[in-house]
Chains A and B, each alone.
Chain A
Amino acid sequence: MSAVADTHTQDHHHGPAKGISRWLLTTNHKDIGSMYLIFSFAMFLLGGSMAMVIRAELFQPGLQIVEPEFFNQMTTMHGLIMVFGAVMPAFVGLANWMLPLMVGAPDMALPRMNNWSFWLLPCAFLILVSTLFMQGGAPDFGWTFYAPLSTTYGPPSTTFFIFAVHIMGVSSIMGAINVIATILNMRAPGMTLMKMPLFVWTWLITAFLLIAVMPVLAGVVTMMLMDIHFGTSFFDASGGGDPVLFQHVFWFFGHPEVYIMILPAFGAISHIVSAFSRKPLFGYASMVYAVGAIAIMSFMVWAHHMFTVGMPLAGQLFFMYATMLIAVPTGVKVFNWVTTMFRGSLSFEAPMLFSVAFIILFTIGGFSGLMLAIAPADFQYHDTYFVVAHFHYVLVPGAIFGIFASAYFWLPKWTGHMYDETLAKTHFWLSFIGMNLAFFPMHFLGLAGMPRRIPDYALQFTDFNMISSIGAFMFGATQLLFLFIVVKCVKGGKKAPAKPWDGAEGLEWTVPSPAPYHTFSTPPEVK
């Protein structure tokens, strides 16, 4: 720690350190952002490989590749890794890279803590993945780990899983605190709240959600830990507890969590649609209010995941109405995007293709969400593949396409090179087809009565499962192409100008591409 002797002016004028220490010890938001993105993609491949195991087993009826207990571990780890390892870190990575550039700050507000937030993630996932090799296997109770399957009946590795969740929680909370401090405190002079780019707005609200609900997740896993090791009876009726208590606390975290996985994508998509429509975003203010409304409401709908647990009627009705209401602000966003495109001057480079697909397919996922929200109908949908179809429609073409769109949009800024447009378009079309092939038939499966989390199924579900698996393999294999495109773009390619997209707006396009190691040492003036 020689920082004390240094003056800050020196800090700003040297480049990155050499070797591994650059990454281990860095305080630079761009380095940390890159690490987050790389880590997230690695986790996407890992979680995706597990999905491939699931789809391979479900290719045909009967048990052929894995045993049921291992299948359950795959389902669980797939869900956990995708949610906590792939999607959330990807958005934090985007935030790290882009927030300081967008608000005109020299770095994140608390740079050292920023690095800690990142490094805790590999640590947490090391522990989580190590459970696969433990006696009794990895967690096998679903990513929702309902008690008492996860407490009394959980494998020994559950304890390690609990601590991994604690570490992820610490990481997310610190990351979110950093984001909020950066946004509230580090904006360039003149950038009032209502002039902030939407990605910044959505992240501000996402960070708030994170700080509000990650501690609740930590609380619920702590109660599990106490039940497992210290004889408490939170989730055991014989001592006066209730397994459903677990679900209430979990979903109080879990529902806001799903918006945590989509709001930053909303922000990024807003920039991209506007840029490739060459037209200002329609309804900026209502976009901001809509995101705020979604966030507030997300605290009041958690029990829509629990319509079949036997809540009192009044509870069912309250949660049904509240959930349905969320369609209104979300609708506002969809309408605003469409109106932004209306009478624009549209072109369809890869970011725009992914964004358009995002709008369409996310909306389809939203529609099925609305159907699930109708409590009586949910008695038929609940815990079937209809739910699996719903959430993959909001997560894969939602969160994941949002991340792809952002990645293509900002790759020139990050690397200084243009990516290969033809390959990127190929990536898009193969992903689009594969993804629909994989997940659309799941709606039919669910409606026809196929429960989720089963390694084997009745014969009438055979055809659609086969189609779904083929689509999944196609989608999965396509992601290797993405890896190739990014590596190629990092290594070289056409030089990117400071502003490669003629319709794009914002401070990030005022700095050269690639963005220098230190930017905005002196803040820009925003009018």
Chain B
Amino acid sequence: MRVHAKRAVALAAGLLLPVTVMADWTMNMSPGVTSTSNQIFSLHMTILWICVAIGVIVFGVMFWSIFAHRKSRGAKPANFHENTVVEVLWTIIPLAILVAMAIPATATLVEMYDTTESDVDIKITGYQWRWQYEYIDDDFSFFSNMSTPRDQIRNRQAKGEHYLLEVDNPLVIPVGKKVRFLLTANDVIHSWWVPAFGVKKDAIPGFINETWTRVDVPGTYRGQCTELCGKDHGFMPVVVKAVPEEEYNEWVAEQREMAEMERQLTEKDWTLDELMERGERAYATACASCHQADGTGLPPAFPALKGSQMALEDMEGHIDIVVNGAPGTAMQAFGNQLSEVDLAAVITYERNAWGNNTGEMVTPKEIFDYKNQQ
């Protein structure tokens, strides 16, 4: 009951005073952890209070009329209908208020647009429905997929603390450095947003948008894709870990090493079982959102792979569509998104899972050759 009472009070207060910040109810923008987000926050609060003040005056006069000038209280109507002085006044005063708002807004905007002199450059590419982070200067990249289990979404399992806002590989950036983001997309428009940074920018296929941030407080910051990008638009979180510089450098070194190791894996001799195991994982992160975990797809938008003629017979075609995609459809070219190992694994998996028991496998080397001969 206490909860209910509390909610009722909060509701009442909320309806009357939009700005009341209740204890554990997030009702307002957060000031965030960058100078941009702080400036935005203070702009937001300033405009909000100006609007509240204007509202109080305007509605004050109105409620006064409603109470005092009611017909039922015997009010006799006046007959005035013009007054040049007040009309000019209530044109000029709002104009002045607007000018006063525009000045700090302009300053903030100019600063947000200054992407020069960055310390780290990261290229971010939006895919249906995950993000790719490319560390341009350090020559490695990875994908970042939502890691919330489907069972939580389908209410078959209790929801975790960071439900829908957790990923397998977060973006890692150094604290105190100016990080420049180069945003683009591979298919449709996405939008990359981290509220705590005050950064939101659209990722547009074929174009690059620039934006930047400088985070002062280490921590994990969460956001989401904010441009409708199809079916799983709601399941495309952004997670950023801001870490101290030394930690960042270590992490970068580690990533570079791992990228190198991944390249070497191509040379290894793989067995069907190894590929199947790796393929299942790769399939779950890269393909299942469209073709579904059980391979049945969502026809007609996304074809079934289970029992698909291509997956059963046409090996060449199968490799081709996965590597090069089907232009003009949602089927992307995975050739430069996944490593050769993952490509081989995923194709092998699709040819042997869900009753597609062809027994055939493709090796990473074959994929490598296929890509090179093109």
* A residues at B contact (CB < 8 Å): 61-64, 68-69, 72, 135-136, 140-142, 146, 148-149, 152-153, 155-156, 236-238, 242-244, 277-286, 308-310, 313, 316-317, 320-321, 324-325, 327-328, 331-332, 334-335, 338-348, 356, 359-360, 363-364, 367, 370-371, 374-377, 379-380, 382-384, 436-437, 440-441, 443-444, 447-449, 451-460, 463-464, 467, 503
Contact = CB atoms under 8 A, between A and B. Distances in A.
Nearest to B226: A383
Contacts of A380: 29, 37, 40, 44, 195, 198, 200
Interface of B: 7, 11, 14-15, 18, 25-30, 36-37, 39-40, 43-44, 47-48, 51, 54-55, 58-59, 61-62, 64-66, 69-72, 75-83, 86-87, 90-91, 94-95, 98, 101-102, 105-106, 108-110, 112-113, 152-155, 159, 161-165, 183, 187-189, 191, 193, 195, 198-202, 204-207, 209-210, 223-235, 298, 300-301, 328-330
A458 B165 contact: yes
Nearest to A60: B155
B191 A308 contact: yes
A460 to B, nearest CB: 6
Given A317-B109, A356-B66, A374-B47, A283 B87 contact: yes
B206 A242 contact: yes
Secondary structure at the B interface, as helix, strand, loop or mixed, is: mixed
Contact of A282 (B80, B223, B298): B80
A347 B70 CA distance: 6
Contacts of B206: 236-238, 242-243
B105 A453 contact: no
B202 to A, nearest CB: 5
Nearest to A156: B300
Contact of B224 (A237, A310, A441, A451): A451
A376 B165 contact: no
Contact of A320 (B39, B102, B201, B328): B102
Q: Which 4 A-B pairs have the closest CB atoms?
A: A237-B206, A454-B234, A310-B209, A448-B26
B205 A148 contact: yes
A447 B29 contact: yes
15 contacts: A64-B155, A135-B300, A142-B228, A283-B82, A285-B82, A308-B201, A309-B202, A324-B98, A331-B91, A340-B81, A346-B69, A346-B71, A380-B200, A452-B226, A456-B235
Nearest to B187: A153
Contact of B159 (A61, A286, A308, A360): A61
B167 to A, nearest CB: 13
Given A62-B153, A149-B188, A345 B26 contact: no
A341 B95 CA distance: 24
Given A309-B202, A310-B204, A347 B226 contact: no
Contacts of B207: 237, 242-244, 310
B69 A347 contact: no
Given A344-B78, A345-B76, A374-B101, 9 more contacts: A149-B189, A284-B81, A327-B94, A328-B98, A367-B54, A371-B44, A376-B108, A448-B30, A452-B226
Contact of A347 (B54, B71, B109, B200): B71
